[in-house]
Chain A
Amino acid sequence: MAKIVVIGAGFAGHTTALYLGSKLGRKHEVTVISNRDVFGYVPSWVWVGVGHMKPEKTVFKLKSVYDRKHVKFVHAAAKEIHPEAGDQYVLGEEIGTGKEVRLDYDYLVIAPGPLLNFAGTPGLGPEGGFTHSICSLPHAVKTRDAYLSLIERMKKGETVKIVVGTGHPGATCQGAAFEYIVNVHKDLVKKGLRDKADILWLSNEPALGDFGVNGVQIKRNGIVQKSEEFIQSVFKDHGIRYQVQTGVTKVEEGKIHWQNYEGEEGVTEFDFSMLIPQFKGQPFKYIGKDGSDISAKLVNPAGFVLVDGKYGLPYPELARTPEAWPAQYNNPTYPNVFSAGIAFAPPGPISKPFTNKNNIAIAPAPPRTGMVSGVIGRVVAMNIVDLITTGKMTHSERMTEMVAACIASMGDNLWDGNAVTIVMRPVVPDRKKYQNEYGRDLFTSHLEMGLSGAWMKFMLHYTFIWKFKALLGWKLIPE
């Protein structure tokens, strides 16, 4: 009987666990260790943050789902990983009791999601800082409360400054911030308060609509359309000002300090701000048999797990080398250690990085959330099933092969809401396969705005919660 341990129960970890449980759960031991006992449907937290969805509608308890899928659940925070052959285990601390938990494994999947590195930008974040975040449910609730207080001030006649975007020169997840800013706009329009707010998009993207993936390009009626022009039109239509190529370096009460590509330093004042922090890997200890620190064999300096990618290539070479992106997501030194979702180390950025004259690298990190997380989680699970049943992995999917669909909400109302529907193929450009300057399949890639997107976003909320609860037909729903 093989023992498989999955660290984390988000999009990647939970998907991995469901496939493993369904394929192996009856004959082998599949265990999930997570510091949260609920699954959180992250894409809907943008609605929680403007008070349009109750927080409890975005979460459900994991234990009952895992019981049905023959997966053992341990509510504990993983602390140490001991990957040396012969004595491989994870040490954790049980939530509530603080009791030490030891989980031996034959296969390990590290998928705990990101460490929200608010400390990387002094003054950032809702805990001890001055800005807000929608990256966790408690943060989204706090953001909602602060936003609703702001609304009260506006109702009394006050004009306010709202800043939304990225809070670190190397932050990712611009898509979530984009959804938030347009949902705030829409909400203010509905409340008749839009004229009381000056809204600014502040981001580290090289260009508007880049989203950390080098933008989205499509071909319609023989003409190439780019997300940059599309998002410019959206912001112009909504009266949202924007400032890109900017890395936030410090936040003080009501003031955001930043540097831009030119190396200029500036300050932007705000009354309310939601800025996405830098993501890092979870700070687990990786310990060898002799008790030594073996982190360098498993993770990069940011704490992301090294897998089967080609690391260290300069950007121009990486952009021409699609095979540099990992395919099976296992560590070369410890091949029975896999990683999925945000936790794996990408070989480099997707968007063109930039370092200004003050040596500040302003470069969005590659997004690895949502559909990408789920797909990688499934690939990892199926390969572990392969290894246990046949001894050979048969599944692989690089981000240079992967399709991603994303519905960016721009108002949740089913009558007059809106959303941008984005399909990218592949997520990371493959300039060898697709012989155009963008390295993408311009026919399959899609960019469209309309009410149908709002219906899709609403439908996806319920469809994916159905899938993640592993209810009837869950495997038919793509990741």
Chain B
Amino acid sequence: MQQEFSKSEKFWMNFKLYQLWRFIVLNIKIYTVAVQSKWH
């Protein structure tokens, strides 16, 4: 079902401190899963 992003979602998407946290988390997540490929 089509939805719109809520005001709160939009706020968090551009809230710099929270996004810095997400940047760190996403980097760790992507590096962790991507590096597993090297074991194949």
Q: Report which A residues bind B (CB closer than 8 A).
A: 229, 232-233, 236-237, 371, 375, 378-379, 395-397, 401-403, 405, 416, 418, 421, 423, 425, 444, 446, 448-453, 455-456, 478-479
Task: Give Cα distance in the complex from A478 to B38, angstroms.
Answer: 8
B37 and A452 contacting across the interface, CB-CB below 8 Å:
no
State how many angstroms separate the Cβ of B14 from the closest Cβ of chain A. Answer: 5
B13 and A405 contacting across the interface, CB-CB below 8 Å:
no
A451 and B26 contacting across the interface, CB-CB below 8 Å:
no
From A233, A405, A425, A450, residue with most partner B Cβ within 10 Å: A450
From A452, A455, A479, residue with most partner B Cβ within 10 Å: A452
B13 and A403 contacting across the interface, CB-CB below 8 Å:
no
Task: Give Cα distance in the complex from A441 to B2, angstroms.
Answer: 24
State how many angstroms separate the Cβ of A228 from the closest Cβ of chain B. Answer: 9
Given known A229-B1, A233-B4, A397-B40, contact A478–B23 (CB-CB < 8 A): no
Task: Give Cα distance in the complex from A452 to B16, angstroms.
Answer: 8
- Chain B residue with Cβ nearest A394: B40
Residues of B within 8 A of A375 (CB): 37
B5 and A237 contacting across the interface, CB-CB below 8 Å:
yes
Sample of 8 A–B contacts (CB below 8 Å)? A229-B2, A233-B3, A236-B2, A395-B40, A403-B33, A421-B26, A446-B29, A479-B37
Given known A229-B2, A423-B29, contact A449–B37 (CB-CB < 8 A): no
Beyond A233-B3, A423-B29, A446-B26, 14 additional contacts (C-beta under 8 Å) are A232-B2, A232-B3, A233-B5, A236-B2, A396-B40, A403-B36, A418-B13, A423-B33, A448-B22, A451-B16, A451-B19, A452-B26, A455-B19, A456-B26
Q: Does B8 contact A (CB under 8 A)?
A: no
A425 and B33 contacting across the interface, CB-CB below 8 Å:
yes
B35 and A478 contacting across the interface, CB-CB below 8 Å:
yes
Residues of B within 8 A of A232 (CB): 2-3
- Chain B residue with Cβ nearest A454: B19
Which residue from A229, A378, A449, A478 sits with its C-beta under 8 Å from B13? A449
Residues of A within 8 A of B4 (CB): 233, 236-237
Beta-carbon contacts under 8 Å, B12-40 to A: 12-14, 16, 19-20, 22-23, 26-27, 29-31, 33-38, 40
State how many angstroms separate the Cβ of A329 from the closest Cβ of chain B. Answer: 12
Task: Give Cα distance in the complex from A453 to B33, angstroms.
Answer: 17
Task: Give Cα distance in the complex from A478 to B34, angstroms.
Answer: 6
Residues of A within 8 A of B31 (CB): 478
State how many angstroms separate the Cβ of B30 from the closest Cβ of chain A. Answer: 5
State how many angstroms separate the Cβ of A392 from the closest Cβ of chain B. Answer: 15
Task: Give Cα distance in the complex from A318 to B26, angstroms.
Answer: 32
